[in-house]
Amino acid sequence: MRPLAIIGPTGTGKSQLALDFADRVDRLGVRAEIVNADAMQLYRGMDIGTAKLPVEQRRGIPHHQLDVLDVTETATVARYQNAAAADVEAIAARGAVPVIVGGSMLYIQSLLDDWSFPATDPAVRARWERRLAEVGVGELHAELARRDPAAAASILPTDARRTVRALEVVELTGQPFAASAPQIGAPRWDTAIVGLDCETTILDDRLARRTDAMFDQGLVGEVIGLLERGLRDGVTASRALGYAQVLAALDAGGGDEQMRAAREQTFVGTRRYVRRQRSWFRRDHRVRWLDVGAATPEQRADVLDAAVRAWRHVS
C-alpha cells in the first residue's frame, strides 16, 4: 500500500491531518496506521513539551515509533531509519496505509530515501561520551580540531552530540568526518508527500500560544519528573526544545523570573527551528504544499481532500 508522508514546520497541524486522513480512508474501506517522524516523540515521558498526542486522542488508530526510548538513550537517525522502515513495510504488508508524520528533517528524509550511514560502535561512542562528561565539550571539540580540522570548523564548539559523533566516525574509519556523510539513495517507496505551512506571522502566533500552553499544562513538572529518570544523562533528550530551557532555568534557581525566561527562550528557539525546517523541506520538489493559515473547518476539509488526492495520484 502506498505510503503518505505529512511533513512541515512545527505547529502546522500535521498530527491532526494524519488522524483525519486515517478516518477518511477507513470510510473508503482502507485502514491506516501512523508512523511518527518526530525525534523527541520517541522518548517515553516527553509528552507535554513534544505535543505528543495522548492515547485517548488517537482515535484507536495504531501509532508507531512513539515512546520507544528512555530519556537516557541517544536517538540516532540510523537507528530510527531501521526501525521505522520495518514498521512501514509491515503496515503495507497488512494492507494498510503507512502515514508518516513529523517535522524532524533528517529522520523523514532517511526514511523516505534509502540513506546509508557510516559505521557506528556503541563502545567507541560510550568512551567519547565518558570523555565528554569528564572534560566538557570544549576540550572534545579541541581534540576534534586536532584530528579533523574541517569537521571542527563545521561543528559548533557547543554541539556536544555532533562532536562526539565526528570523533567516533574519524576513529572508526580513519577518514575525515565529511567523507563519511550519509549516502542518499533512491526513494524507498512511491510515497505521496504533502507539506503543511502558512504565513510566518500566523505561525508565529500559533507557536507563541503553543509554548504558553506547554508551560501552563505542566512542562516544568514533566521535566522535574524526568530528572528522576535520568534526563540529565541523556545526550539527545536533554537538549530538546523546552526541556533544555527548563533545565537551565532550574539550574539558575527555578524562580518565576527564570521560568519566564525559559518560556521566551523556548518560543525563540522554536521559531529558529521552524526556519531550518522550511529551508530543508522546501528543497524537496516532490512535496505538494498545502496552506493551513485559515484554520477554518472549510480549509481543514480542503486540506484533507488534497491529501487524499495526492495519495491517490489525483491532481
Residues flagged as binding site for substrate: 10-15
Three cell numbers written together for 205: 502566533
Q: Would you list the DSSP string of 238-295?
A: GGSTTHHHHHHHHHTT--HHHHHHHHHHHHHHHHHHHHHHHHHHTT-TT-EEEE-SS-
Three cell numbers written together for 217: 499544562
Cite the annotated binding site by residue number. Answer: 8-15
Cβ–Cβ < 8 Å for 44, 67: yes
The residue type of 145 is: A
Cβ–Cβ < 8 Å for 22, 59: yes
Burial of 130 (0-12, 13-18, 19+ CB in 10 A): exposed
All residues at 6 or more sequence positions from 45 whose CB lies less than 8 Å from its CB, including other chains = 71, 222, 225, 226, 229
User: Which among 138, 130, 133, 125 has a CA at the least distance from the CA of 164?
Assistant: 125
Three cell numbers written together for 101: 508524520
Q: Is the Cα dihedral 68, 71, 72, 74 positive or negative?
A: positive
User: Which among 152, 68, 79 has a CA at the least distance from the CA of 115?
Assistant: 79
280 — phi, psi (to 5°)? -70, -55
Cite the annotated binding site for ATP by residue number. Answer: 8-15
Return the DSSP state at 186.
E
Cβ–Cβ < 8 Å for 266, 274: no
β-bridge mates for residue 153, sequence order:
none
The residue type of 187 is: P
Return the DSSP state at 113.
E
